């Protein structure tokens, strides 16, 4: 049995990390004897011809996709291509989007055969066994599928109680080198579950209200492995790493005990942190925590069932400052009850907290399938403007409240974006005059390099321009690199000097490599890390 797992396109502006969910699925499948490949369209350019070549070479019997709402359309587009190339391939999709609108999805997209609801490690293994033996799907729990013209929901699958029984995610199949070259973080989880009831989130429904924890020693084993991959940052991607103080401290103590030198971040709530917890997290290598504050209006916080107060926010920011941990906060504009005045309250509060050391940003409300705010939009006074899933990226308005319309929300975001772009432009001007600080200059240089590397990756420039023959005599790496930069510059807006500098850094960091055999030189990105 062979399975192709596919990560659909996701904008680099969303700071993606290597797809952890697919790595967990790959490990479960491999353990059951299935041969697996992963196609990651976040860092590889997609074309139907590329897909066809891959399918003909690998010959998978099943193609599995993960998708959030904003990537659903991209995933469906690939599924349609798969079915046109080989209609016998079983197409399967999981993730929060289809878990909560499965019936409509199967009705609208006949190319999709099966939907996996919630946690998928055990489900996909059973699907493979059924597909490989020609068995019916009716005995597999946790799926939605077709039986003739009917759409069938199978029995609910119980959540995985002992997370330590799962094999560690198989990251050997992921293009880690490309993510590392793009300065993206790598992620892991220490638990599953969220006990809170925010009306704009599907986390509780996806992974359950009761938090299930991994063994701290196994967690730190994984952290130790990730530290060898030379990513600049590890993200602990639990819905709430600080949900249980004892668990959090046990992980930190194990890191400290082993004297691991790590740099990591986590998600927290302002009502679940304390001075001693943050101090211990800092000692274990945590340099930043992210809080979801959502709004500075007490009534809106009550309406969305956030369960926090502004006093708790201020206290948490103070704790972070004392511990030496950078606090980040996210706000959501366009929530139920939003008015011009509540928006001003939130923005003013953010600026006030900024002066105390808080870094903050915001998104616009996206009412994802499965959220209470979507299912009860009339109750909450929310007008949903579109079901175009590609617009559910939370950077432009897709909802309105009685007092705040789309234009007002978009203007705030656009003004914020313009201010940031102007800040970068000002730094560049001061760099030209040698007036920018080293920190400011590095910020701009790193951003430009990331944009350039991503552009090169998604246009296959290194692959297209990075092969040539020579007479076989001695050639220095510097000369090879200069020639690569010159060849790429013919079709790039970047100067040969910028290309040489950026590619040179990628080479030095082990993210770009070349082979030179019998006078045939070939450059390539490092995809799979040893």
Query: What's the DSSP call for residue 401?
Result: B
Rounded Cα distance, 412 and 397, in Å: 10
Q: Name the token pair of 383.
A: 């007008």
Rounded Cα distance, 92 and 125, in Å: 12
Cβ contacts of 390 within 8 Å, gap of 6 or more: 70, 72, 73, 74
Phi-psi label, residue 59: left if phi above 0, alpha if psi -120 to 50, beta otherwise: left
Q: What is the pLDDT of residues 43-96, one digit of tens each?
A: 999 999 999 999 999 999 999 999 999 999 999 999 999 999 999 999 999 999
Nearest to 67 by CA among 59, 56, 76: 76
- The torsion defined by the Cα of 434, 435, 436 and 437, in degrees rounded to 10, comes to 100
Q: What is the pLDDT of residues 189-225, one digit of tens each?
A: 999 999 999 999 998 899 999 999 999 999 999 999 9
Average pLDDT of span 431-453:
94
With cut-offs at 50, 70 and 90, classify the pLDDT of residue 518.
confident
Handedness of CA 97, 103, 107, 113 (dihedral sign): positive
Whether residue 211 contacts residue 188, with contact meaning beta carbons closer than 8 Å, is answered with: no
Q: What is the pLDDT of residues 359-383, one digit of tens each?
A: 999 999 999 999 999 999 999 999 9
Q: What is the pLDDT of residues 415-424, one digit of tens each?
A: 999 999 999 9
The Cβ of residue 471 has, within 10 Å, a number of other Cβ atoms equal to 6
- Domain parsing of the chain, residue ranges: 2-153, 185-404, 459-525
Instruction: Fold for 2-153, please state it.
Output: Rossmann fold (3.40.50)
Handedness of CA 94, 114, 125, 52 (dihedral sign): negative
Nearest to 44 by CA among 343, 371, 454, 354: 454
The Cβ of residue 384 has, within 10 Å, a number of other Cβ atoms equal to 14
Distance set, CA 382 to CA 239, 275, 322, 401 (Å): 25, 38, 40, 5
User: With a threshold of 0.85, does the pTM exceed it?
Assistant: yes
Hey, which residues does 292 pair with through a beta bridge? 330
Query: What's the DSSP call for residue 467?
Result: E
Distance set, CA 367 to CA 176, 371, 393, 406, 432 (Å): 32, 7, 10, 14, 44
Burial (0-12, 13-18, 19+ Cβ within 10 Å), 333: buried
Residue with tokens 């199978």: 154
Total length of the chain: 530
Average pLDDT of span 261-266:
96
In the chain, how long is the greatest CA-to-CA distance? Answer: 76
With cut-offs at 50, 70 and 90, classify the pLDDT of residue 479.
very high
User: 222-228 — which CB contacts under 8 Å span 24+ positions?
Assistant: 222/168, 222/188, 223/188, 223/255, 223/260, 223/262, 223/264, 224/258, 224/260, 226/186, 226/188, 227/260, 227/261, 227/262
- Exposure string for 107-133, b = 16+ CB within 10 A, e = fewer: eebeebbbbbbbbbbbbbbbbbebbee
Fold identical between 2-153 and 185-404?
A: no
**Quick check: 185 pLDDT over 70?**
yes
Whether residue 393 contacts residue 14, with contact meaning beta carbons closer than 8 Å, is answered with: yes
Q: What is the pLDDT of residues 280-323, one digit of tens each?
A: 999 999 999 999 999 999 999 999 999 999 999 999 999 999 99
Rounded Cα distance, 456 and 436, in Å: 28
pLDDT > 90 in the chain, percent: 94
Whether residue 154 contacts residue 144, with contact meaning beta carbons closer than 8 Å, is answered with: yes
The whole-number pLDDT of residue 474 equals 74
Residue with tokens 């103080």: 245
DSSP symbols for 52-117: HHHHHHH--SEEEEE--GGGHHHHHHHHHHHHHH-TTSEEEEESHHHHHSHHHHHHH-TT--EEE-
The whole-number pLDDT of residue 303 equals 98
**Quick check: 19 pLDDT over 80?**
yes
The whole-number pLDDT of residue 375 equals 97
**Quick check: 530 pLDDT over 70?**
no
Hey, which residues does 294 pair with through a beta bridge? 331
> Distance from first CA to last CA of the chain, Å, rounded?
25
Whether residue 263 contacts residue 226, with contact meaning beta carbons closer than 8 Å, is answered with: no
**Quick check: 473 pLDDT over 80?**
no
Nearest to 238 by CA among 192, 195, 270: 192
Rounded Cα distance, 238 and 370, in Å: 19
For 185-404, CATH number out of 1.10.10.10, 3.20.20.70, 3.40.718.10, 3.40.50.2300 equals: 3.20.20.70
Cross-sheet strand order for the sheet of 35-40: 35-40, 2-7, 62-66, 90-94, 114-116, 143-147, 150-153
Rounded Cα distance, 90 and 519, in Å: 44
Q: Name the token pair of 69.
A: 């709402």
């Amino acid at each position: 049995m062979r399975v192709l797992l596919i990560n659909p396109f996701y904008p680099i502006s969303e700071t993606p990390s290597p797809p952890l969910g697919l790595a967990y699925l790959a490990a479960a499948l491999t353990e059951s004897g299935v041969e697996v490949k992963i196609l990651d369209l976040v860092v590889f350019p997609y074309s139907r011809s590329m897909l066809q070549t891959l399918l003909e070479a690998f010959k998978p019997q099943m193609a599995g996709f993960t998708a959030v709402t904003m990537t659903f359309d991209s995933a469906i587009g690939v599924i349609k291509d798969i079915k046109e190339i080989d209609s016998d391939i079983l197409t399967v999709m999981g993730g929060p989007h289809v878990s909560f609108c499965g019936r409509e999805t199967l009705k609208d997209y006949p190319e999709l055969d099966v939907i996996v609801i919630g946690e998928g490690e055990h489900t996909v293994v059973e699907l493979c066994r059924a597909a490989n033996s020609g068995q019916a799907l009716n005995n597999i729990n946790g799926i939605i599928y077709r039986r003739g013209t009917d759409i069938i929901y199978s029995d609910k699958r119980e959540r995985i109680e002992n997370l330590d029984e799962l094999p560690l995610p198989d990251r050997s199949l992921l293009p880690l080198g490309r993510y590392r070259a793009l300065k993206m973080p790598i992620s892991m989880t220490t638990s599953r579950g969220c006990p809170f009831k925010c009306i704009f989130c599907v986390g509780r429904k996806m992974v359950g209200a009761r938090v299930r924890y991994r063994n701290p020693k196994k967690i730190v084993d994984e952290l130790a492995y990730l530290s060898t991959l030379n990513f600049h940052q590890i993200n602990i991607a639990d819905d709430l790493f600080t949900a249980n103080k004892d668990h959090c401290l046990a992980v930190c103590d194990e890191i400290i005990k082993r004297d691991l030198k790590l740099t990591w971040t986590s998600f927290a709530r302002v009502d679940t942190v304390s001075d001693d917890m943050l101090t211990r997290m800092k000692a274990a290598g945590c340099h930043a925590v992210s809080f979801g504050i959502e709004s500075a209006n007490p009534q809106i916080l009550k309406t969305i069932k956030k369960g926090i107060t502004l006093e708790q926010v201020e206290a948490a920011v103070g704790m972070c400052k004392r511990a030496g941990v950078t606090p980040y906060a996210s706000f959501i504009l366009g929530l139920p009850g939003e008015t011009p005045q509540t928006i001003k309250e939130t923005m003013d509060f953010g600026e006030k907290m900024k002066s105390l050391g808080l870094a903050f940003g915001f998104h616009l409300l996206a009412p994802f399938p499965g959220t209470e705010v979507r299912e009860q939009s009339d109750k909450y006074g929310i007008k949903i403007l579109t079901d175009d899933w590609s617009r559910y990226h939370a950077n432009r308005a897709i909802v309105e409240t009685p007092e705040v319309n789309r234009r007002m929300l978009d203007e705030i975001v656009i003004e914020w974006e313009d201010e940031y772009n102007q800040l970068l432009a000002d730094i560049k001007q001061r760099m030209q005059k040698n007036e920018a600080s080293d920190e400011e200059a590095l910020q701009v240089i790193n951003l430009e390099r990331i944009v350039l590397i991503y552009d090169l990756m998604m246009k296959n420039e290194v692959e297209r321009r990075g092969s040539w023959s020579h007479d076989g005599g001695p050639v220095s790496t510097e000369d090879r690199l200069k020639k690569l930069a010159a060849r790429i510059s013919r079709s790039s807006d970047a100067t040969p000097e910028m290309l040489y500098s950026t590619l040179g850094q990628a080479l030095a960091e082990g993210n770009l490599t070349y082979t030179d055999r019998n006078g045939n030189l070939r450059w390539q990105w490092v995809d799979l890390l040893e």
